[in-house]
Structure 1
């Protein structure tokens, strides 16, 4: 019996993950059954269960890849010295993150169907963590790593004299992350919008001065 190459095994696992991500982004985690995934990837149950024990394992694998892709984007941004202003940096990062959807393929390898697929999938992930403690732990760990990266970016602003240094860098990092998360949530709930929207908003907020 011929041995199956590692390349073939990796490609088959990729096929299953991509198909599951398409299903989850389209219909949500709970409305998607393993039969839906089998139909999407056009494989037998035995072929899929060789790689994943069930839907929860598929969800966990997708969440880990999504978080890794997002972290890679922000770590790449953090390597710029000095970092671009927040409006430029957040806009650039959002373009990269949102570019994982629309039938495209993220840095981690996942593909999502339809415009706005990635934001919809992210909202599904956030909802799922409310009931799944294991996924919640994965999300907390992923958030901590992204927050640490953004804290370094803010410290770069402060060291370059681009931002006031009397506010804890972690507080600013959390606010920037919340802004990006909120923008992604709006995309999922209300439809796509250009990244220039969040860039313009940040520029306006950055220009606020105390009343004279």
Structure 2
């Protein structure tokens, strides 16, 4: 019997993960059965269960993969000197994640943002998934905190604000953008970039007025 190549195994695993993601995005986790997944990927039960024991393992694999990609992008940025500005950094990483899942669609619309919202909802009842998400977001937050500290060290950002608070805010911007995509339809990452850039340009008028008073 011919030996199955690793390339074939990886392609089959990708086929199953993408098919499951479409099912979950379309109907949610509870309304999706393993039979739905089998039908979506057009494979036998044996072929699918060779890779995944059931829905929970599929969900964990999908979530872990996405969080790993996001973490990798921000971890790479954390080692840049000086770090890329927040408006470009967030949209570059988020845009890369969205582009990598561009082919995943449900009813002609991107499936990934809808899947993300489904995952957030599922964490309210699935403790294992909630723990996985906490660990994943914790790693992303840690990378972002180091990026903010680099901004402050380079004089690019005021130093009297907690780096952790800034990190949480930037993560909230990315998460909110995904939620909007799920609710209102696709939009380019440039929208987030431009919005962040505009917010970053806002001046503290109390500080400006104080400087003007002192100069007079």
Give the TM-score normalised by structure 2.
0.87
**Pairwise CA distance, 1:58:** 1.1
Contact 2:66 2:97 in 1 (8 A): no
Task: Describe the superposition over 1:142-184 as per-residue Cα deviations: whole angstroms up to 9, x where unpaired.
Answer: 0110001111111111111000111111111111111111111
Tell me, in whole angstroms, the C-alpha distance in 2 between the residues paired with 1:74 and 1:115. Answer: 27
CA distance in 2 between counterparts of 1:180 and 1:71 reads: 13
The separation in 2 between residues aligned to 1:131 and 1:35, in whole angstroms, is: 22
Query: Is 1:185 matched with 2:174?
Result: no
What per-residue deviation string (whole Å, max 9, x for no partner) do you get for residues 167-204 of structure 1?
A: 11111111111111111111111111222222222222
For residues 81 and 45 of structure 1, do their structure 2 counterparts lie closer, same or farther at Cα, with a shift above 3 Å needed? Answer: same
How many pairs are equivalent?
204
Is 1:41 aligned to residue 41 of structure 2? yes
Pairing 1:90–2:90 present: yes
Q: Is the 8 A contact 1:74 1:93 kept in 2?
A: yes
Q: 1:5 to 1:85 in 2, by over 3 A?
A: closer
- The equivalent of 1:100 in structure 2 is 100
Answer yes or no: is 1:68 the counterpart of 2:62.
Answer: no
List alignment gaps of at least 5 residues for structure 2: 210-216
For structure 1, list consecutive stretches of 5 or more residues without a partner in the other structure: 104-111
Q: TM-score, normalised by structure 1?
A: 0.88
Over 4 Å off, 4+ runs: none
Q: Could you say if the C-alpha distance between residues 192 and 5 of structure 1 is closer, same or farther in structure 2, counting changes exceeding 3 Å? A: closer
Partner-residue secondary structure (3-state), 2:134: helix
Structure with the higher fraction of residues in helix conformation: 2
Contact 1:158 1:164 in 2 (8 A): yes
Deviation of 1:97 (Å): 2.2
Name the counterpart of 1:139.
Answer: 133
2:113 matched residue in structure 1:
119
Cross-structure match for 1:130: 124
Higher-Rg member (1/2): 2
Looking at structure 2, the residues matched to 10 and 199 of structure 1 have their Cα atoms a distance apart, in angstroms, of: 34
User: Which of 155, 164, 170 is the matching residue for 1:170?
Assistant: 164
Kindly indicate whether the alpha-carbon contact (under 8 Å) linking 1:147 and 1:173 is maintained by their aligned counterparts in 2.
yes
CA-based RMSD:
1.7
Residues 3 and 89 of structure 1: CA distance in aligned 2, closer, same or farther (over 3 Å): closer
Match of 2:202 among 192, 208, 211: 208
CA contact (8 A) 1:101 1:115 kept: no
Alpha-carbon displacement from aligned partner over 1:42-69 (angstroms, at most 9, x marks no partner): 1111221222221111111111111111
